[in-house]
């Protein structure tokens, strides 16, 4: 019932073991496994529709539709809630958690080991220059280094300017302060369809001007959002951006 | 009159400078101005030219627009309660802007956004004038305003909730309360040409509005073309309110507070009040926009909140004064 646990479940479940995934798993902006999701029944996280699927087990995120989840528990359906990963270390733990819930411990351990190896292989050259970068999202929200996205940025060999501002987890960074900090790279998110003022902030001419001077990158496609092995792909892309900066 | 204008102009200029000097990036006024004018290529130049200058310019233009629209409507309807925000013109304009943004029409050509807001504002003005009649009795005027505001507000919320964009639904407050945060030069170039057109139309009303204080028949006998007067008022108000709302959301009470405060100083002459309200409105919005940045610099406190806190008590006072007419 949660786009992040959905993807881990799709990676780990036996054929026929997984019945339905959330509708967000079909959206390229939130999920890295749109094609894989085609074989499952989409649900929108309402208690009624999930109940009618008669599942033996529901895997939900800690913050997924709380009312629907408690309702399903009252209807005697086993629900496992899994907290979102907030660091690269926790990605590994979540893989094992979902594996345990699905009774696929072996497969989960193999995937976790693969993830560890992949992460180790991505270690940036310790002698490489570390450019200063900012993750800048809707409403001017910037992400600190003690978060999954922040750790991804560090793993790709960047210095997060949020740390200079004393933001460990993240917070709103006014455009003026972003311009004053003058990071080399501003990584913004892919806008949703329709329009919104919140998303106009990272598309302000100031940000555009700063991005024009450097290689820019977009975040928040499916690879970024969830603690799944796909974060490795996002780190790899980021690291490639960093290398191009110095060429 | 000239002393009043000199005072208002000096006040506006001072507030304009203050607006340029205040922001989260710490810099002295002289540093800021040097960076703004000579452009030394530092981040401060970028901040001054792309963030603070457009914000201050929009505050002036929007304040002048709303002050002018308020004074013109009050002169025409001979009712101190007439104001674009209260009678639903601003919320109609916001609906037009939201619809054009969410349907993608705003992206089709540069002026699509302000023109959509203008058209919707036009519908709002015409509805109010039709419902309230040209005499503008307080009761019908306010009731019509409430009805149009409620309807436009509900449709705006609906359009934002139906949007595929998850952020849009949280922006109802922006459209209803207005804010100048994070606007850019792009918004200045979008709004100012249409506002300027509206300013010309509204400024031409002075003589007609003066004559109208003697009554419609007297004005007609003085050679005032009432139909043309009404047309210019409707078009001018739609232009200024539409363009202002398209870039900054619906900011209420400016057109109510400013003419009310300045009326005693211009001897009740609507033509003088037009000019005074335009400059006074600019000062008012600049001051309110400085206030939102000083009170809660971290959050995007809405401009409309400050304006309503100033304007609503005055509105109650005006209703109290006109209650004999209402009863």
Any idea which residue has 């980021």 for tokens? A238
Q: Number of structural domains, chain A?
A: 2
Of B79, B55, B54, B44, give the one whose Cα is nearest residue B209.
B79
Instruction: Check residues A127 and B53 and name the one with the higher pLDDT.
Output: B53
Hunting for tokens 């967000």 — which residue is that? A24
Question: What angle is formed at CA A128 by the lines to CA A125 and CA A129, rounded to 5 degrees?
Answer: 150
Confidence class of residue B150 from pLDDT cuts 50, 70 and 90?
very high
* B24·A174 Cβ contact <8 A: yes
Give the separation between CA A56 and CA A78, rounded to whole angstroms.
7
pLDDT at B197 over 90: yes
Give the pLDDT score at B239: 94
The pLDDT value recorded for residue A216 is 54
Q: Report the 10 Å Cβ neighbour count for A44.
A: 12
Res. A193: pLDDT tops 80: no
Q: Do B184 and A139 touch (CB under 8 A)?
A: no
**Is position A125 within any domain?**
no
The SS3 call for residue A134 is strand
A208: in domain: yes
Alpha-carbon distance of A178 to B43, in angstroms, equals 9
Asked whether residue A15 falls in the same domain as residue A101, the answer is yes
Residue A127, in any domain of the structure? no
For residue B25, the surrounding DSSP H or E stretch is none
- With a cut of 90, say whether residue B193 has pLDDT above it: yes
Give the confidence band of A184 by pLDDT, cuts at 50, 70, 90: confident
- A218 and A167 share one domain: yes
What are the distances in angstroms from CA A13 to CA A149, B203, B212?
26, 72, 80
Which residue out of B42, B47, B98 would a mutagenesis test of the A interface target, given it has the greatest number of A Cβ atoms within 10 Å?
B47
Percentage of residues of chain A with pLDDT beyond 70? 96
Residues A141 and A107 in one domain: no
Nearest to A176 among B25, B101, B104 (CB): B25
Residues A112, A149: one domain? no
Return the pLDDT at A247.
66
Q: Among A65, A91, A120, which residue terminates a domain?
A: A120
* pLDDT of B139 over the 70 cut: yes
Q: Is residue A161 part of a domain?
A: yes
Task: Tell me what pLDDT residue B284 has.
Answer: 95
Q: Does residue A99 belong to any structural domain of this protein?
A: yes
Do residue B165 and residue A196 have CB atoms under 8 angstroms apart?
A: yes
| Lowest mean per-residue pLDDT among A141-150, B20-29, B195-204 | B20-29
Residue B321 scores a pLDDT above 70 = yes
Which residues of chain B from 134 to 153 reach within 8 Å of chain A, CB to CB? none
Of A177, A180, A192, the CB nearest to B164: A192
pLDDT band at B90 (very low <50, low <70, confident <90, very high): very high
Interface contact B168-A205, CB threshold 8 A: no
Q: Which of A154-168, B148-162, B249-263 has the lowest mean pLDDT?
A: A154-168
Torsion of CA B271, B276, B279, B285, to 10 degrees: -110
User: Is there a domain that residue A126 lies in?
Assistant: no
Q: A221 and A148 in one domain? A: yes
- Length, in residues, of chain B: 327
| Predicted-complex ipTM score | 0.77
pLDDT value, residue B135:
65
Contact B135, B215 (CB under 8 A): no
Structure tokens at B173: 């407050």
Structure tokens at B254: 């400016």
> Quick one: A200 and A229 in the same domain?
yes
C-alpha distance across the termini of chain A, in Å: 44
Whether residue A14 has pLDDT greater than 60: yes
How much is the average pLDDT of A30-54?
87
Long-range contacts of B130-137 (CB under 8 A, 24+ apart): B132/B77, B132/B87, B134/B76, B134/B77, B134/B216, B134/B230, B135/B77, B135/B78, B136/B76, B136/B77, B136/B78, B136/B79, B136/B82, B137/B79, B137/B325
- Of the given ranges (A52-56, B130-134, B155-159), which has the lowest mean pLDDT? B130-134
The answer to whether the Cβ–Cβ distance between B165 and A193 falls below 8 Å is: yes
* Domains of chain B (ranges, CATH numbers): 2-24+56-326 (1.10.3470.10)
- Sequence-distant (6+) residues with CB within 8 A of A77 are A50, A51, A55, A56, A57, A58
Segment B306-311 mean pLDDT = 89
- Quote the percentage of chain A above a pLDDT of 90: 12
The pLDDT of residue A215: 52
Q: What is the CATH number of the domain that holds A48?
A: 3.40.50.1980
Best A29, A170, A172, A176 member to test B by mutation, with max B CBs in 10 Å, is A176
Interval B221-263: pLDDT, tens:
988 888 899 899 999 999 999 999 999 999 989 999 999 999 9
Does one domain contain both A102 and A175?
Answer: no
Q: Is the pLDDT of residue A211 over 80?
A: no
pTM score, whole prediction? 0.85
> Is B102 close to A194, i.e. CB distance below 8 A?
yes
Contact B167 A138 (CB under 8 A): yes
Q: What is the structure's pLDDT at A110?
A: 92
List the domain range (segments joined by +) for residue A50.
Answer: 3-120
Residue A41 pairs in a beta bridge with A20
What phi, psi does B297 have (nearest 5°)? -65, -25
Band (pLDDT 50/70/90 cuts) for residue A209 is confident
Chain centroid, CA A82 distance in Å? 15
Q: Residues 6 or more apart from A17 whose CB is under 8 A from it?
A: A102
The chain-wide mean pLDDT, for chain B, equals: 89
The mean per-residue pLDDT over the stretch B83-111 comes to 90
**Which residue of chain B has the CA closest to A199?**
B167
Shared domain for A85 and A183, answered yes or no, is: no
- Residue of A139, A179, A199 lying closest to B43 (CB–CB): A179
Confidence of residue A122 (pLDDT cuts 50, 70, 90): confident
Determine whether the interchain pair A179/B182 forms a contact, defined as Cβ–Cβ distance below 8 Å. Answer: no
Most confident of A41-55, A179-193, B126-140: A41-55
Cβ B128 vs Cβ B89: under 8 Å: yes
B112 in contact with chain A, both atoms CB, cutoff 8 A: no
The model's confidence at residue A45, banded by pLDDT at 50, 70 and 90, is confident
Which residue from B153, B162, B54, B56 is spatially nearest to B101, judged by alpha carbons? B162
Which of the four pLDDT bands, split at 50, 70 and 90, describes residue B182?
A: confident
Residue recorded with tokens 């204008």: B5
Is the same domain home to A162 and A64? no
> A84 in a domain, yes or no?
yes
Q: What is the pLDDT of residue B210?
A: 92
Kindly report, residue by residue over A69-93, the tens digit of the pLDDT.
Answer: 888 889 888 888 888 888 898 999 9
- Tell me what pLDDT residue A130 has: 87
Domain boundary among A73, A98, A120: A120
Average pLDDT of chain A?
A: 85
B157/A contact by beta carbon, under 8 A: no
One domain for residues A180 and A109: no
**Res A217: pLDDT:** 56
Q: Which of A67, A98, A120 is the last residue in one of the domains?
A: A120
Maximum alpha-carbon separation in chain B: 64
Range ranked top by mean pLDDT from A143-147, B117-121, B166-170: B117-121
| pLDDT value for B58 | 96
The yes-or-no verdict on residue B198 having pLDDT over 70 is yes
């Amino acid at each position: 019932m949660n786009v992040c646990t959905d993807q881990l479940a799709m990676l780990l479940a036996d054929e026929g073991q997984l019945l339905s995934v959330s509708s967000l798993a079909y959206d390229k902006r939130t999920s890295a496994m749109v094609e894989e999701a085609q074989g499952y029944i989409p649900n929108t996280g309402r208690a009624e529709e999930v109940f009618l699927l008669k599942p033996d087990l529901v895997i939900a995120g800690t913050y997924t539709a709380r009312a629907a989840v408690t309702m399903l528990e009252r209807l005697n359906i086993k629900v496992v809630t899994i907290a979102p990963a907030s660091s690269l270390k926790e990605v590994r733990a979540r893989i094992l958690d979902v594996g345990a819930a699905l009774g696929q411990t072996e497969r989960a351990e193999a995937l976790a080991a693969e993830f560890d190896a992949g992460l180790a292989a991505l270690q940036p050259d310790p002698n490489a220059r570390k450019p200063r970068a900012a993750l800048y999202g809707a409403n001017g929200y910037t992400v600190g280094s003690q978060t999954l996205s922040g750790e991804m940025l560090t793993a790709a060999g960047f210095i997060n300017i949020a740390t200079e501002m004393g933001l460990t987890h993240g917070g709103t960074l006014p455009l003026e302060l972003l311009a004053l900090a003058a990071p080399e790279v501003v990584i913004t998110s892919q806008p949703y369809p329709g329009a919104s003022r919140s998303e106009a902030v990272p598309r302000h001419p100031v940000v555009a001007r700063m991005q024009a001077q450097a290689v820019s990158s977009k975040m928040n496609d499916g690879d970024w959002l969830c603690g799944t092995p796909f974060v490795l792909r996002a780190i790899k892309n980021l690291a490639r951006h960093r290398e191009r900066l110095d060429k | 009159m000239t002393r009043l204008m000199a005072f208002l102009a000096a006040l506006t200029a001072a507030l304009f400078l203050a607006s340029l000097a205040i922001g989260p990036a710490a810099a002295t006024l002289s540093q800021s101005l040097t960076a703004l004018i000579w452009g030394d290529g530092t981040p401060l130049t970028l901040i001054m030219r792309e963030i603070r200058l457009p914000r201050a310019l929009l505050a002036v233009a929007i304040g002048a627009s709303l002050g002018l629209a308020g004074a013109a409507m009050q002169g025409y309807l001979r009712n101190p309660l007439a104001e674009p925000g209260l009678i639903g013109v601003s919320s109609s304009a916001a609906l037009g802007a939201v619809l054009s943004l969410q349907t993608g029409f705003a992206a089709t050509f540069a002026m699509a956004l302000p023109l959509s807001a203008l058209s919707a504002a036009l519908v709002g003005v015409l509805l109010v004038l039709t419902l309230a009649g040209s005499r503008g009795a307080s009761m019908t005027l306010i009731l019509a305003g409430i009805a149009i505001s409620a309807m436009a507000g509900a449709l705006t919320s609906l359009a934002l909730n139906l949007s595929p964009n998850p952020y849009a639904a949280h922006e109802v407050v922006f459209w209803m309360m207005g804010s100048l945060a994070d606007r850019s030069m792009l918004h200045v170039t979008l709004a100012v040409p249409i506002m300027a057109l509206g300013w010309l139309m509204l400024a031409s009303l002075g003589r007609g509005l003066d004559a109208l204080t003697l009554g419609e028949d007297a004005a007609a006998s003085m050679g005032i073309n009432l139909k043309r007067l009404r047309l210019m008022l409707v078009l001018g108000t739609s232009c200024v309110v539409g363009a202002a709302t398209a870039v900054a959301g619906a900011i209420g009470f400016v057109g109510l507070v400013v003419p009310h405060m300045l009326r005693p100083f211009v001897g009740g002459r609507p033509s003088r009040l037009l000019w005074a309200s335009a400059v006074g409105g600019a000062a008012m919005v600049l001051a309110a926009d400085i206030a939102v940045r000083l009170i809660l610099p971290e959050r995007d406190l809405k401009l409309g909140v400050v304006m309503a806190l100033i304007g609503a008590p005055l509105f109650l006072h005006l209703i109290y004064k006109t209650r004999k007419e209402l009863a």
